[in-house]
Structure 1
């Protein structure tokens, strides 16, 4: 760090807490500083601390306030009034515009202390608690009037996943400067997760990537996700509509029949106001209804935002990092591993991660929306399986990494693991179409799911014979039986696969 600004004292406090074990995510929320900023600070902490000591910064720290999101009632009232006036004039207000105006008012009003007015500040400050309360009351009335159970109420939401993002420290040596990481569309997928309030039905994930035709998908007859593609790897309204009509409605109907509900019973899908979602009135038909949350309340009451998506993503990242460490442990460098980890690996890993999200996690995420009075039937359903927390994942990963004789891997720290867990927290999943893109979409209907550089080359891999596959199953069963941590259901699953193969023999 060539130059340390007057905020250096704030960063010293932040680094002290980081050294005491406070998580990066918590520090980001407390100080209003971006996650990537904290990662950069941690890698340059020695220079920062040396600078502060030379200037007797400790004495100055006591007289300055720490960086935090704005708490001034004056600024809050002024900013709300400014927003009200601008909206009355039909002036479009983006998140960046509001954040910029808040910074100007901070200086003009001479507010004491500092505030970054970051995205985290905006999300917390813009959450409409009153609107959330009103929606919860309206939702309770609808549930009571329509007599729908938790089996019939769903929530769907999108999230981004940087599907093969490795810790920056893992791809450098001690003499190199850590890169910022690969964060373009090639490395990002958008994932749509949907499940019901009872936690008994998790719909098959929908995944949007950049490329539709890939070598790794050759000879595959099915995938564990609904797979789409476009140039930006973002959800669009046409993709969501296709998922809703072809997949969500039939799957939700089938589940309701399985749990004994009458055919044609009402089904309710809760959505946020993202541009990829068609209006609720367009989606609602044949006893399947869509209901949208008001603006600025999803961080408070949308179930998927209360830990469901986070649980899925952390489990995926844990799997990916374990694969990376295993590869390095077997002599494969990180960059080669990244190239070998395919989109097929990613979709199977994210599908497994979604399958591993527990019923307890899902029902707990509905607590803020579905009040205790309406959740008597939910409270009886508990998943007693121990939940693997992010802290335990991180500890296990570090323990594995530190045992590997590799300079870049053995020196990984908690902040490096948290970097991977948090790198895509604020990544977009949707985009709005321009007028030209709308015309292109209509006139070139087949192009939505294709990419300019997608490849349609026949894979050189030879088809494995049935006889050889059966022998591989026998070998796998033998290996699994030698490991005490494998349970009988896992081994039985391989036996069932073997039986299917034998039935298909000519």
Structure 2
């Protein structure tokens, strides 16, 4: 009986050698393609990598896709284990989302897990995708693995550690808001900035052969300004301003100020000043606003602060269901709202007013030195208060785009809405000032250039705002009130007569000002009506004053 074919043993020559199936990682595939481009033969590559020629030719067809995927990856180490390019169920969404992530990274915009998932849902609707997707943490992990993303870093380069800290805190911030069910009306940020309130570009004084009355770094020539506003942009707390003189004579006859005025020798903030501001001014004002906003009389309010040594520990900044939370160290410039354009806008508006006033004085034939002697700290206080009033809601809300980016989407704001918003108004302001300066005949100002104004805008950027409190100094810290020392001395070197202007004279001045402003096209009816309102108050005050004078004679 003949043996069946399957029972016949095969000789060694008849045995078929089978190549062990190897699956290359993406890193190996890229390396193979690079060697192929360098001139290594296909035969050598098949032997080195243990793959067939068909595999190599297939990789060659996918070359562009592989190289792009590899270059877009955050961490090339991950590519040593990744073997396939898994296709997404919705490739269009994947493509636009990864492009969106790359754009944000290139501009150092915030990137967090919550933000990416939020944007994915937005694109899901915009692309009219019919299939459902939850865009959960599980989806995000697959998306990151699919694209070789290890971290959703906020920025790159030397500050990567700080950026990673900021990114982690953004998620923590979102959790706080979610857990406490808070609205933008209840979230505030406060910060201090230095202001050289009468600084003039050095070039203007040089060309006019004049000297500044004092060194601009002197405490007499600087203020520390504390600004605070909520995330909704609907509430700005009245500014706190720290000057050098506790009882300045030029404020002697002023019954009220548009700011909360404090003072110490260095014109800087201290823990005592900040605690006073928090308890007496911030808490009551924020509580009144939230009540008006319909949030209840005892709703929770959060104040976010940077880790400044002048800020007391958070457990000391608690009152009436108002709490303080500190941002991590070294992330202030990255995510703190006040540092994202709010205080810069305030100072730019103030300096525009100051420089514009100086140019107008020069146009009237006044020397720059004489203008500086006339422009008092009282003028500066009113000017900075007006500048704060002019900081608009858009600036206040857009400043939260890093820390609370999801709020931007809820308000239908996109990257384009706030990209470059800090610079546009400033450039327009500089252009107007230069045009005005060049129209004047005085050589001291008509050669003013953009660099000179930028010098003025940036001169106090890094000026200290913190005053280390030494023993005995607590008595020198004060709050401006209605009562002042009866002193004719002027600690700030500013001439002040201290004489009261009669009410009749003030009314006459209002009439003259109204008549003059009506001829000016730049002044609106609303602004003129404000003067009429002031005049009416003065007129109503006259009978009261007469009555007081009569009673004074009787007694």
What is the TM-score normalised by the length of structure 1? 0.69
Equivalent position SS for 2:542: coil
Label 1:386 to 1:142 Cα distance change in 2 as closer, same or farther (>3 A): closer
Q: Which of residues 442, 449, 458 in structure 1 aligns to 2:478?
A: 449
8 A Cα contact 2:239 2:259, kept in partner: yes
C-alpha distance in structure 1 between counterparts of 2:217 and 2:160, whole Å: 27
C-alpha distance in structure 2 between counterparts of 1:309 and 1:390, whole Å: 13
Larger relative contact order (Cα-Cα within 8 Å, sequence gap ≥ 6): 1
Q: Which of residues 417, 423, 437 in structure 1 aligns to 2:459?
A: 423
> How far has the Cα of 1:142 moved from its partner?
1.0
Label 1:160 to 1:141 Cα distance change in 2 as closer, same or farther (>3 A): same
Label 1:462 to 1:354 Cα distance change in 2 as closer, same or farther (>3 A): same
Aligned pair 1:466/2:500, yes or no? Answer: no
Corresponding residue for residue 249 of structure 1: 283
Label 1:377 to 1:126 Cα distance change in 2 as closer, same or farther (>3 A): closer
The 5 A counterparts of 1:295-314 are: 295-314=329-348
Corresponding residue for residue 230 of structure 1: 264
Corresponding residue for residue 337 of structure 1: 371
> How far has the Cα of 1:306 moved from its partner?
0.5
C-alpha distance in structure 2 between counterparts of 1:181 and 1:403, whole Å: 29
Q: Which of residues 256, 273, 295 in structure 2 aligns to 1:261?
A: 295
Corresponding residue for residue 440 of structure 1: 472
8 A Cα contact 1:165 1:181, kept in partner: no
> How far has the Cα of 1:335 moved from its partner?
1.4
8 A Cα contact 2:212 2:369, kept in partner: no
Corresponding residue for residue 29 of structure 1: none
Q: Which runs of 5+ in 1 are unaligned?
A: 1-122
> How far has the Cα of 1:134 moved from its partner?
1.5
Corresponding residue for residue 326 of structure 1: 360
What is the TM-score normalised by the length of structure 2? 0.63
Q: Which of residues 282, 285, 288 in structure 1 aligns to 2:316?
A: 282
Corresponding residue for residue 188 of structure 1: 222
Corresponding residue for residue 52 of structure 1: none
- Counting matched residue pairs gives 373
Q: Deviations over 1:116-175 (max 9, x none)?
A: xxxxxxx97487111111111111111111111100100000000110000101111388
8 A Cα contact 2:210 2:369, kept in partner: no
- Larger Rg over CA atoms: 2
C-alpha distance in structure 1 between counterparts of 2:303 and 2:281, whole Å: 13
Aligned pair 1:476/2:476, yes or no? Answer: no
Q: Which runs of 5+ in 2 are unaligned?
A: 1-156, 490-495, 544-555
C-alpha distance in structure 2 between counterparts of 1:353 and 1:466, whole Å: 28
The 5 A counterparts of 1:71-470 are: 125=159, 128-173=162-207, 182-372=216-406, 376-377=410-411, 379=413, 389-433=425-469, 437=470, 439-441=471-473, 445-449=474-478, 456-457=487-488, 460-470=497-507
- The farther-off stretch of 272-281 and 461-470 is 461-470
> How far has the Cα of 1:338 moved from its partner?
1.2
> How far has the Cα of 1:352 moved from its partner?
0.8
Label 1:124 to 1:491 Cα distance change in 2 as closer, same or farther (>3 A): farther
C-alpha distance in structure 2 between counterparts of 1:430 and 1:164, whole Å: 20
Equivalent position SS for 1:504: helix
8 A Cα contact 2:259 2:381, kept in partner: yes
